[in-house]
Structure 1
Amino acid sequence: MGVDVNNKSWIVYTFMVVVTWGVWGAFSAWPTTHYGYPDQWIYIIWSLTMLIPCYFALRGQRFDFSGKAIFYGCLIGFTGAGGQLLLFKTLAMGAPAYLVFPIISISPAITVIMSLALLKERVNKLGSIGVVLALLSIVTFSISSSDGQQANGLLWLVYSVLICVAWGVQAFFMKQAANQGVHDSSIFGYMTLTGIILAPVAWLMLADKGASYPLMATLSTAFIQLLNAVGALCLVMALSRGKATIIAPCTNALAPVLTAVLSLIIYQSMPGFWAFIGIVLAISGSTMMVYSEEKINAVKATAAL
């Protein structure tokens, strides 16, 4: 189905992705820092909030139970959910969101590298520069952590890189699944299912299973994680109505920017010189990579007409 150029609703949905994911990123650590809410409970609540957008994604759609859909759905779901579980642990350690989310935003570098190696795809000059900037950002974040002021030394950086890798792999197989004709609503359904499957793992990781927390801790967690889930649904809706060449760069670059800005305002904490350079490099690199890839796809689509 082609994109309806007269349908401008994609603008609204893209804006909602940036806002929901940007605000979610800034407040992700709020329940832990203010109520001591464990990251395992945050993950469990997140997995349940996924059911809400999943209902809207699957409404009126046929769920794909083919072996191909199950394979890609589970692979995409577990890499995504595993990254989420590790993300909540990273934020619970006290790692600053204004550093964590820009690192995660360079996950397209992993996708590009896998596409080059496994699909023999080519990347243009802009994409190559984006990959280099993304890798350089990891170096600068490492330098910024060498002073020992960041949470748990370099451990938060290692976790952030692992999340970046997991979500980069996830994006690669999302692309593969689309190429194989698996509908995105079914993929989203498997993402929800795998997220819930890992909830018992999070439960087993709880240090104090009988601990009680204020009701506001649970309610604030549910609201914050619902922003994450709704943002994912809005992204699907935006891409079905608009051009990926515009939507993808906006969501991959602007959401981390909003997270960084809000985090600096809320927590009154300014990054050091190397951390600031890392933020700029990560966001610039992610924007270049995504824009480059989508530009190549647009050229291919035009040539096929």
Structure 2
Amino acid sequence: MKSLNRGWMIPAGLLVLFWGVWGAFSSKPTDLYGYPEEMVYIIWSLTMILPAAAALRRERFDRRPVAALYGLLAGLTGAGGQLVLFQALSDGPAYLIFPVVSLSPVITVLMAVALLRERINRLAVVGVVAALVAILLLSIPGGGGGGHSSGPWMVLAAVVCVAWGAQAFFMRKAAVVGVNDATTFGWMTISGLLLIPVAYLMMGSFPSGAPWQAPALTAGTQVLNAVGALFLVMALSRGKAAVVAPLTNALAPVLTIVLSLIVYQTLPTIWAAIGIVLALAGSTLMVYSDEKRGEDAAEPELAAKVPS
């Protein structure tokens, strides 16, 4: 069987670039101009319309109730996580927040074990253990270096981790029942827009007196986030998930960490550095084992459908 199609490499590379830069600079509108993180969320949700429209030009929108159910569950957990993430980035450093967020596959794996009675393989167990050790190391007070210690941002990052882990679980459930990626992405966009009133109520009123650079910088960074999500859909549709998912899951946070360390002009302590490495390694192992198991399970099905 020939599966050396390299068409996934360009969108995967662009995904790493877009998400890596977005993660490092997402908090800049708040840091530089005091722009409310709720307003950052509102602009992000609007930028999702562009990649959603592009995705739905390629695939038909699935109107089944089951597609709406899993699409909304995936969308609301994902958008809710985004809303909390922007708050976390306004309080803490991206180079510590994103390693914690990258541990979301732990939640996905645990949900699959608890709700679907799936068995966890040895590689995933190693990933879970590495993730737990990483959380402990990243939680050491003052472990971030540069005066950053564990605080509200750590709790918020953990909430995002849980939300995005649940989102991945619901996205997988959607795929299992035959919902195409564009439909799920469309519901994710709708969910993001549905939470705009929540963000507005949290904010109280639209910011007045903010310089034009604030919304412009916000739109620029959040377009990177939204279009990066579309690149992920494109990469997964062109390449093996067992290769694409772990690669992008590891490299995008690495780029964020490197860029944000340069921006903050600081270095983490040795414990935080080890925690960052363990978080990325554990997350990558879990994503790889999960996607590889899914592809291995699908191959006999595919072979059975091919006439001999």
Please classify the TM superposition score into its range, dividing by the shorter chain length: over 0.9
Q: Does 1:35 align with 2:10?
A: no
Q: How much does 1:8 deviate?
A: 2.3
Please give the residue correspondences for 1:157-176 in structure 2 after superposition, counting only pairs within 5 Å.
157-176=154-173
Partner amino acid, structure 2, of 1:67: P
Give the SS at the match of 1:205: helix
2:70 matched to which residue of 1? 72
2:306 matched to which residue of 1? none
Identity of aligned residues (%): 54
Equivalent of residue 214 in structure 2, options 213, 217, 220: 217
Please give the residue correspondences for 1:247-286 in structure 2 after superposition, counting only pairs within 5 Å.
247-286=244-283
Q: Would you say the 8 A contact 1:63–1:186 is kept in 2?
A: yes
Distance between the aligned counterparts of 1:287 and 1:60, measured in 2? 30
Q: Which runs of 5+ in 2 are unaligned?
A: 304-308
Distance between the aligned counterparts of 2:17 and 2:287, measured in 1? 19
Deviations 1:231-264 (A, max 9, x none): 1000001111111111001111111111000111
Partner amino acid, structure 2, of 1:88: F
Moved more, 60-69 or 30-39: 60-69
Partner amino acid, structure 2, of 1:302: E
Partner amino acid, structure 2, of 1:73: G
Partner amino acid, structure 1, of 2:285: M
Distance between the aligned counterparts of 1:210 and 1:103, measured in 2? 30
1:119–1:18: structure 2 CA closer, same or farther, 3 Å change rule?
A: same
Distance between the aligned counterparts of 2:197 and 2:58, measured in 1? 30
Give the SS at the match of 1:282: helix
Please give the residue correspondences for 1:1-305 in structure 2 after superposition, counting only pairs within 5 Å.
5=3, 7-93=5-91, 95-145=92-142, 149-150=147-148, 153-207=150-204, 209-304=206-301, 305=303
Q: Would you say how many aligned residue pairs link Structure 1 and Structure 2?
A: 301
Give the SS at the match of 2:178: coil
Q: How much does 1:24 deviate?
A: 0.5
Q: How much does 1:117 deviate?
A: 1.2
Distance between the aligned counterparts of 2:214 and 2:207, measured in 1? 16
Partner amino acid, structure 2, of 1:54: A
Partner amino acid, structure 2, of 1:289: M
Q: Would you say the 8 A contact 2:24–2:259 is kept in 1?
A: yes
Distance between the aligned counterparts of 2:281 and 2:93, measured in 1? 19
TM-score, with length taken from structure 1: 0.94
Distance between the aligned counterparts of 1:169 and 1:28, measured in 2? 23
Distance between the aligned counterparts of 2:186 and 2:206, measured in 1? 29
Deviations 1:71-113 (A, max 9, x none): 11111110000000000011112x0000001111110010111
Give the SS at the match of 1:64: coil
1:45–1:210: structure 2 CA closer, same or farther, 3 Å change rule?
A: closer
Distance between the aligned counterparts of 1:48 and 1:253, measured in 2? 27
Q: Would you say the 8 A contact 1:26–1:260 is kept in 2?
A: yes
Distance between the aligned counterparts of 2:175 and 2:299, measured in 1? 19
Q: How much does 1:37 deviate?
A: 0.9
Deviations 1:36-86 (A, max 9, x none): 111011000000000010110111432222211111111111000000000
Moved more, 20-29 or 292-301: 292-301
Deviations 1:161-199 (A, max 9, x none): 110000000000111111011111111111001101111
TM-score, with length taken from structure 2: 0.93
Alpha-carbon RMSD across the aligned residues, in angstroms, is 1.8
Give the SS at the match of 2:179: coil
Q: Which runs of 5+ in 1 are unaligned?
A: none
1:252–1:6: structure 2 CA closer, same or farther, 3 Å change rule?
A: closer
